[in-house]
Structure 1
Amino acid sequence: EFWKVLALLYFPALYSPLLACAGPRHRLGYAAGTLLAWGHCGAQAWHRAQCPLAPKIHGLYSLLSHVPALLSLSLLSLWYPARLLRSLRNGDSPELRISGKSYYREYLKALLSKRDRKGSSVRIDESLSSRIRSYLLSYIYIPEEGFRIPLKLVVSVTVAVVAVYQVAVLLLVAVVPPLRIVRAGMTKDVVVLLVQFGLVPSQGAAVPGDLEQELRTARHFLWALEVCYICSLVLCCLLTCAMLLRSLGMHRSNLRALYQGAVLDVFSKAHILRPSRESLVCWMAFSSFQAAFACLGFLIQQVIFFLCFVAFTFLVVIPLQLGTSSPLFGIIRNMWPFWLTLVVAALMQHLLAHFQFLEQHSLQKEITNRRALYLVTFLLFPTNVLVGAMAAVWRVVISGLYNAVHFCRLDISLLHHGVETFDPGYRTYCHYLRVEVSQCHPLLKAFCFLLLQPGRPEPPAPPRDTQLEEGLQLMHPKHPAAGRARSRRVRARWCVAYTLLHNPSLTASRKTALADPAANGAQLGAPGP
């Protein structure tokens, strides 16, 4: 058991040197990363080709389950040599080692630009097709100029997609091949049992010699079950990926709002965006939580949609194909007075409310015929109880489907606003945002890079005339242009520092030491007696 626990650290310890080679941004690191990437990629390919236990699960499972690892290692095998060649060509200058410097400059330029945004004008008379198009486009993450999603969010979504892929492959291999084996080995003796239990319809006597039609029907049922399983699996994969892409758009909106200081636009109540012990723990566990929630939500969706597909297929599609009566159709046909009563009651209430109980005045509507309204309310109470029961069933179905589909998203809470802190996924996401915004504010880093920029090199002084007097040679005349340039540079840096200190949207991004007067350059007075 101890070795099983230590096995959880095997892959992080194995691949951590490969990822650490990109940290120094030096040619030696890129060279080591190239060798490690090539070695890992070759070892994975050789292991997949020579593994003797691969066919025990399924012939293609070993290959399909390692496709993400092979693709990632192949990408690193190309990325490290490209970075190495770029480093050899341009050199290891300190400017190139600063991560994200160009992005922070672009963010500052986009923030200070005076261009009108394309989405500033909103059309009131928007058509239905354009609204549907905009709703569908909201599930597709489109990069915007001047804003970049943090790397940890991209890695978290990628890891979640890979984890869902692994679970989908495992579910596919665990169910579909056994179903095919059962369908191929179906015999008439098994069909007799199915006919006796009423699972397969029979045209005549259940004699083993006269069950050819029943045997074909049983195999057709198993084939339909396999199709339902594969369709539900594909639908769950598409829904999970769509929800993860939608969460990227929500991440961008939340980060942009927090960068601007609009805390109440993201959280239900005001929060201080400073790191804490719980925030750091949630920041470390965010990617793992995203993968775990995505896999569990995928399993829940698979169970729900598989049952829905099976119910629709065996209660609607197959009875229509075979020309037999469906139990669902029989229930609906026998309960037609109930459904007619509900429809008539709902329609009558809407008509009475529109024509008898509301009276149009100049600018508003007023309630009229109050005695008749009370009488109709009392008479329709039992009928409305039945309508309420149907509405309650519909509420359970809708809430279950909504929660199952959105279970993989950590940026929204599945609980009410008052008790959303009991949602561990949403609480982890909120603490992650606190750490990300307080430590990686792009505007703060852009101004810091402006402060760290070296001044412009002064032009070389002209050669002095050797015929001048010795006293003039000993003089050091001051250049007024250089003094003015230096004063402008000092003034600009003081303006940047003043902006960093007094911008309210950057208050949570500053270090807490800046609140000390001594840290800001003020002199402390003598302590009082």
Structure 2
Amino acid sequence: METTSETVTETCQAPYERSFYYILSLSIIVTALLSLLQKRKRLWPGRFDGRPGIIYPVNLLDDRRNRLAYAAAFVLASTGPVTELTLEILFGESGSSNPFVRVAYRILKVLMYSLYYYPLFAAVTMKSIVTFAIGMAYSFILLGLDIADIFSCNKDREDLTYEFLFELPVLICLLYLAAIFSYKFVKAIMKTVRTRKLEIKVEEQAFDEYQLRHLRMLLLSGRRLQEMSVVEDTDDSIGRLGRIKQILRRFYRPRQGFKYSTRLISTMVVSITAVYIILLMLILIWQYLFGPILELSELFSAHTMYVLEVCWKLSLAIGFLIFVFTIPLILQGYRENMLSVFKGDHSLVAAVAENTSFSITPAMRVVSASRYAGFQVAYAVFGFLIHFTVLFAITGFMSLAILNPDILKSIASWAWPVLLIGLAITLVQYLLARFVFLQDRGRVFALDNRRLFHNCSFFAFLYNIYLGFFSSLMRLFKGVFFGALLFPRLDHSVLPRAVERFDPGFRAYVGFLQLENAHTHPVLVSFCRLLLLSRQVDDKEVTKGEGPINATTEDAQGASKSTGHDRCRSLPRNRWFLAFTLIRNPGLQQLRHSRDRRPRPRDEDFDIDQIVIEGIGSTMS
């Protein structure tokens, strides 16, 4: 931060800036030490006890745990680059005059910010007492530097207030991470004392809770699901808290068995933080830039300047509220699209379907998915700026029109005859179509009085050309309006369906959906994990010698008999499961083969009763 006096210009360097490269060096050393504590799995696992290994900061694909901790860390890592980039755009370039050098410096600076906060992500991912201690110490160090940065350089009261508001998201995230790491560090100490075992590894669960709930809801009948929703709505309607929940559910309704990914939650939190920073910057721009310039130019009176300032701040507030209410719509749209894709229904997002004109290579799908988070943050910021600009133009024009009634009179004198004639022509056409040209006063879509209809169509041809000019303006206005309104939402393309492949934001969203569907489908993941668990159980039984291989002859014979008996008992049960599966999934009936292994014709109906009869016969036998 720089403070300028009349005689001497001094540069005040905050503690954060002075210690940046020291903390960066410390983070690189900590990252290297953590890699020494992780073992390799494939490349020379026998050398140096398999160390060092490759660590990763965050699993953005299929890990749904610690989402808020990751989101807080992403806020810390993205606040610096977003602030610096915004300041450079608003107040000009700094550093070298060569554009290639400036771009290379920005890329290097982003890499330094990523390495700067890398230990925080690794501490969340590598769950052990050592990593929790590192994360706790790192969080408290950054928190102390941030607090010292706020009160440095002898700021006055107003500058101190704005500095605190700018650093508020960073302070909240650092406090949250410090509390989380402290809690987990104490919990890890207690666990280490009980088990007397210290390990550094990434914990993996056999099943996630949301996946089990999703599978349970798939197996429940529609009537049972309806009863559960009725009971849930009844419970929420009791008490004052239930009324608040009902009001909130008008904007967003949660669903059991679904959990948003870490990538999406982190993206939404970073988007809100970035828009919040831009909001504060725009307030300062009016206070220290636009306001003084307009006052010196003497284009407006003091009263008009006050009105424009109110319009500026009101537009910022309304634009920020619009963005805040857009967040649950983005989440709800993603959830509906994801659940539909899980079912194989591509009606909401037809581009996700295979073999379409939108289909792209697997490599580009991965690239598009990796772009989604960054694109969403950037589109959210630009969408907020577009909303603010449009709102300020509207409110400013209306305010100036109210202060100067002559503007409204001139616009009304030109516009009202055009609007009146257009409405009259449209009303006459509607009345003729309903009461003259359609049968039964418009209740039946069948023409009547065709000769009169042909005459009216002839005379209306030229009138409709006249109306078409104004309709084209309305179409352009509506396209701009809804395009600006939906600009922050990547789940809706601002281009028509035929050319939506040229929308880079929507393309990134489609790639994100395709990657999520391919690697996080609850049924597919649960099925694969069941296979892995069953294989692990079989390997353990063979290793312990519990099978018929290491048993005596009598035990082997008894085991074989019991195995055959269990197999006979499980056969009817498996047939019942097969019948239930085919009844609930009619699409699988066409893929079913007969006993002679010959494929069944696709147009032949599958006899589901035959399976039930076979199951009953096997049960009775």
* Superposition TM-score, scaled by structure 2 size: 0.62
The Cα offsets for residues 119-153 of structure 1, whole Å up to 9 and x where unpaired, read as 9999xxxxxxxxxx999968733332211111111
- The one of 436, 444, 454 aligned to 1:374: 454
- The one of 312, 321, 325 aligned to 1:238: 321
Shift of residue 69 of structure 1?
1.4
- The one of 318, 343, 358 aligned to 2:403: 318
* Secondary structure in structure 2 of the residue aligned to 1:366: strand
Distance in 1 separating the partners of 2:466 and 2:204? 67
Map of 2:332 onto structure 1: 249
Map of 1:129 onto structure 2: none
The Cα offsets for residues 181-240 of structure 1, whole Å up to 9 and x where unpaired, read as 568x67xxx76xx5xxxx6xxxxxxxxxxxxxxxxxx21111110111111111211222
C-alpha change, 1:334 and 1:236, in structure 2 (3 Å) is closer
Map of 2:185 onto structure 1: 84
Structure 2: 5+ residue stretches without partners: 1-100, 231-243, 542-551, 589-621
C-alpha change, 1:238 and 1:135, in structure 2 (3 Å) is farther
The Cα offsets for residues 87-142 of structure 1, whole Å up to 9 and x where unpaired, read as 334458999922563333333333323462239999xxxxxxxxxx9999687333
Does the 8 A contact of 1:160 with 1:295 survive in 2? Answer: yes
Does the 8 A contact of 1:357 with 1:373 survive in 2? Answer: yes
* Secondary structure in structure 1 of the residue aligned to 2:224: coil
Is 1:44 matched with 2:146? yes
Once the two structures are superposed, the pairs formed by residues 104-119 of structure 1 within 5 Å of their partners are: 104-114=211-221, 116-118=224-226
* AA aligned opposite 2:188: S
Does the 8 A contact of 1:411 with 1:429 survive in 2? Answer: yes
Once the two structures are superposed, the pairs formed by residues 315-464 of structure 1 within 5 Å of their partners are: 315=401, 317-319=402-404, 325-333=405-413, 336-360=416-440, 364-451=444-531, 452=533
* Secondary structure in structure 2 of the residue aligned to 1:148: coil
Distance in 2 separating the partners of 1:414 and 1:450? 42
* AA aligned opposite 1:160: S
Shift of residue 484 of structure 1?
6.0
Does the 8 A contact of 2:435 with 2:441 survive in 1? Answer: no
Shift of residue 174 of structure 1?
0.8
Distance in 1 separating the partners of 2:457 and 2:247? 42
Distance in 2 separating the partners of 1:480 and 1:283? 52
Distance in 2 separating the partners of 1:225 and 1:300? 18
Shift of residue 86 of structure 1?
3.0
Structure 1: 5+ residue stretches without partners: 123-132, 200-217, 320-324, 459-472, 508-529
Distance in 1 separating the partners of 2:392 and 2:453? 46
C-alpha change, 1:8 and 1:57, in structure 2 (3 Å) is farther
* AA aligned opposite 1:158: V
Map of 2:120 onto structure 1: 18
* AA aligned opposite 2:209: S
Distance in 2 separating the partners of 1:437 and 1:274? 15
Distance in 2 separating the partners of 1:182 and 1:357? 63
The Cα offsets for residues 387-432 of structure 1, whole Å up to 9 and x where unpaired, read as 3222222222221111111101111111121211111011111111
Shift of residue 252 of structure 1?
0.8
Of stretches 1-10 and 348-357 in structure 1, the one that deviates more from structure 2 is 1-10
Shift of residue 159 of structure 1?
1.4
Does the 8 A contact of 1:21 with 1:29 survive in 2? Answer: yes
C-alpha change, 1:33 and 1:400, in structure 2 (3 Å) is same
Map of 1:225 onto structure 2: 308
Does the 8 A contact of 1:138 with 1:246 survive in 2? Answer: no
Shift of residue 76 of structure 1?
0.6
- The one of 354, 362, 365 aligned to 1:279: 365
Shift of residue 314 of structure 1?
1.4
* Secondary structure in structure 2 of the residue aligned to 1:66: helix
Distance in 2 separating the partners of 1:389 and 1:279? 42
Distance in 2 separating the partners of 1:138 and 1:381? 49
* Secondary structure in structure 2 of the residue aligned to 1:407: coil
Map of 1:516 onto structure 2: none
Shift of residue 266 of structure 1?
2.7
Shift of residue 163 of structure 1?
1.4
Once the two structures are superposed, the pairs formed by residues 164-203 of structure 1 within 5 Å of their partners are: 164-178=275-289, 181=292, 194=299
Distance in 2 separating the partners of 1:292 and 1:224? 31
Does the 8 A contact of 2:316 with 2:388 survive in 1? Answer: yes
Does the 8 A contact of 2:319 with 2:387 survive in 1? Answer: yes
Map of 2:77 onto structure 1: none
* AA aligned opposite 2:530: L
Shift of residue 160 of structure 1?
1.4
Distance in 1 separating the partners of 2:133 and 2:561? 45
Distance in 1 separating the partners of 2:116 and 2:159? 27
Does the 8 A contact of 1:275 with 1:438 survive in 2? Answer: no
Once the two structures are superposed, the pairs formed by residues 427-506 of structure 1 within 5 Å of their partners are: 427-451=507-531, 452=533
Does the 8 A contact of 1:264 with 1:270 survive in 2? Answer: no
Distance in 2 separating the partners of 1:275 and 1:97? 33
Map of 1:466 onto structure 2: none
Does the 8 A contact of 2:434 with 2:441 survive in 1? Answer: no
Shift of residue 84 of structure 1?
2.3
Is 1:150 matched with 2:150? no
Map of 2:4 onto structure 1: none
Shift of residue 49 of structure 1?
1.7
Shift of residue 289 of structure 1?
0.6
CA RMSD of aligned residues (A): 4.3
C-alpha change, 1:390 and 1:425, in structure 2 (3 Å) is same
* AA aligned opposite 1:67: L
Map of 2:129 onto structure 1: 27
* Secondary structure in structure 1 of the residue aligned to 2:439: strand
Distance in 2 separating the partners of 1:150 and 1:5? 27
Of stretches 133-142 and 350-359 in structure 1, the one that deviates more from structure 2 is 133-142
Identity of aligned residues (%): 24
* Secondary structure in structure 1 of the residue aligned to 2:431: helix
Shift of residue 308 of structure 1?
0.8
Distance in 2 separating the partners of 1:372 and 1:102? 68
* AA aligned opposite 2:512: Y
Map of 2:173 onto structure 1: 72
Does the 8 A contact of 2:352 with 2:514 survive in 1? Answer: no
Distance in 1 separating the partners of 2:311 and 2:443? 55
Is 1:98 matched with 2:178? no
* Secondary structure in structure 2 of the residue aligned to 1:373: helix
Does the 8 A contact of 2:125 with 2:202 survive in 1? Answer: no
Distance in 2 separating the partners of 1:225 and 1:486? 87
* AA aligned opposite 1:255: M
Map of 1:288 onto structure 2: 374
* Superposition TM-score, scaled by structure 1 size: 0.71
Distance in 2 separating the partners of 1:455 and 1:304? 63
Distance in 1 separating the partners of 2:246 and 2:410? 39
* Secondary structure in structure 2 of the residue aligned to 1:410: coil
Does the 8 A contact of 1:159 with 1:287 survive in 2? Answer: no
C-alpha change, 1:139 and 1:399, in structure 2 (3 Å) is farther
Distance in 2 separating the partners of 1:367 and 1:431? 48
Higher relative contact order (CA 8 A, sep 6+): 1
Does the 8 A contact of 1:289 with 1:425 survive in 2? Answer: yes
